[in-house]
Amino acid sequence: MTADQPPGIPPLASLTSRFLARVIDTVVLLAIDLLLSTAVAGVSNPGDFSYNQDVLLSALVFVLYFAYEGAMISARGQTLGMMARKIRVVRLADGAVPDRAGWTRAAVYALPGALFSIGIGPLYWIVNALWCTWDRPYRQCLHDKAAKTVVVTAR
């Protein structure tokens, strides 16, 4: 066990694996967003939205990301991207699947997207995503800290 590893749980996931898992999850959700935006707008070009449709669909995407991440993390500790990268989220205290803490983690990650409309959302996400690069000893992002979780290698 290294100094950066919580006692009694698998080794922490690499920052590269975490990043690539998030990219995979984002691609999955962008595909769903594209399907939804096409269905809701009833147009073949999602760029043809009115401002109100755009705001509504943006809100729907953030809620969808929250639901996706919350349901997957609370049930099994992994999203599709995490499964592909062989990493998972566990409670820091005992290494168990996060259950309710998965919803807290998802809320702190996804719901600040609503702040996009006033320009704070992107800054928050950048700070949140980069937090794990300097956080010690557990390399937690802000959403991990809020939920008291860590990202580890899957067994």
pLDDT tens per residue, range 7-16: 789 999 999 9
Distance of CA 139 to the CA centre of its chain: 15
Q: Write the CA distances from 5 to 9, 113, 137, 141, integer angstroms.
A: 8, 31, 7, 15
Per-residue pLDDT tens for 92-116? 999 999 999 999 999 999 888 766 6
The residue-averaged pLDDT of 113-124 equals 68
Task: Work out the mean pLDDT of the chain and round it to a whole number.
Answer: 86
The residue-averaged pLDDT of 54-68 equals 80
Q: Are 68 and 79 in contact (CB under 8 A)?
A: yes
The residue-averaged pLDDT of 108-137 equals 81
Reported pTM: 0.85
Share of the chain above pLDDT 70, in %: 82
Residue scoring higher pLDDT (101 or 31): 101
Whole-angstrom Cα distance, residue 87 to residue 52? Answer: 38
User: Domain extents for the chain?
Assistant: 15-153
Predicted local confidence at residue 28, as pLDDT: 92
Residue 150's identity, in one-letter code, is V
Q: Are 21 and 152 in contact (CB under 8 A)?
A: no
